[in-house]
Amino acid sequence: MSSYTYSDIAKMIDHSLLKPTLTEGELEKGCQIALDYNVASVCINPFYIKRCSEILAGSTVVPSTVIGFPLGYHATSTKVAEATRALADGAKELDMVVNINQVLSGNWEYVRDDIQAVLMVTHAAGAKLKVIFENAYLQDEHKKMLCQICGDLKVDWVKTSTGFAPAGATIEDLELMRKHSPQEMQVKASGGIRTLEKLLECRKAGVTRVGATATVEILDQIKQHSK
């Protein structure tokens, strides 16, 4: 017998609608899929978050979007402006990319201030923040320090990847992030989560959210198992 329910898994999934080639019709369809499958959230391109919020209104599916995406090198003031606009447009969760340049340069004060600035406007609006490390470019020492900074600031989630780098989530990284994060800070996996088997591996590593484009395939697999 499975140790999880359909809802347990569905409410782990942030249905990702971030590919630049998606048409307006595909964004609309993606939001409807998220509703039909009752996932945790839709993570959508920032320009469409207002419409996404309208579609999801009255449901338990949360509208979310990205900040400083996908490279993270926006000025802090730009990230704050992006966050402020997204929150005004109805976003309830934001996925922000760290300044990777400053992480690799060891400028930790800048990195902390950058995260904190976005976190402050996010929490002030009653929303939640996920901080994307982009682990493909980092060493373990960088990941550990980012976990410490995010934990100190009381970030809601730390997240592995954008899905646009050379590599996505690995179990080793997820275990490292879980180990070096305070218990109350959650971990999100993104990049390469295309099967139920991989999602369950992430769950076993302590992950509470995953970013996925293969939502239908993953959740249909659970429906088949339950028949």
Tell me if residue 92 is catalytic.
Answer: no
Tell me if residue 159 is catalytic.
Answer: yes
Task: Supply the DSSP string of 111-139, one letter for each residue.
Answer: HHHHHHHHHHHHHHTT-EEEEE--GGG--
Among positive and negative, which fits the CA dihedral 135, 128, 33, 196?
A: positive
Cα–Cα nearest to 126, from 156, 151, 103, 96: 156
Task: Supply the DSSP string of 46-57, one letter for each residue.
Answer: GGGHHHHHHHHT
- The active-site residue, picked from 79, 92, 130, 188, is 188
Tell me if residue 19 is catalytic.
Answer: no
The span from the CA of 43 to the CA of 91, in Å, is 9
**H or E stretch including 204?**
helix 196-204
- The active-site residue, picked from 130, 143, 159, 198, is 159
- The active-site residue, picked from 95, 114, 156, 173, is 95
The residues near 18 (Cβ < 8 Å, ≥ 6 apart) are: 43, 44, 45, 66, 69, 163
171, HSE (Cβ side, Cα atoms, 13 Å) = 9
Annotated catalytic residues are 95, 159, 188
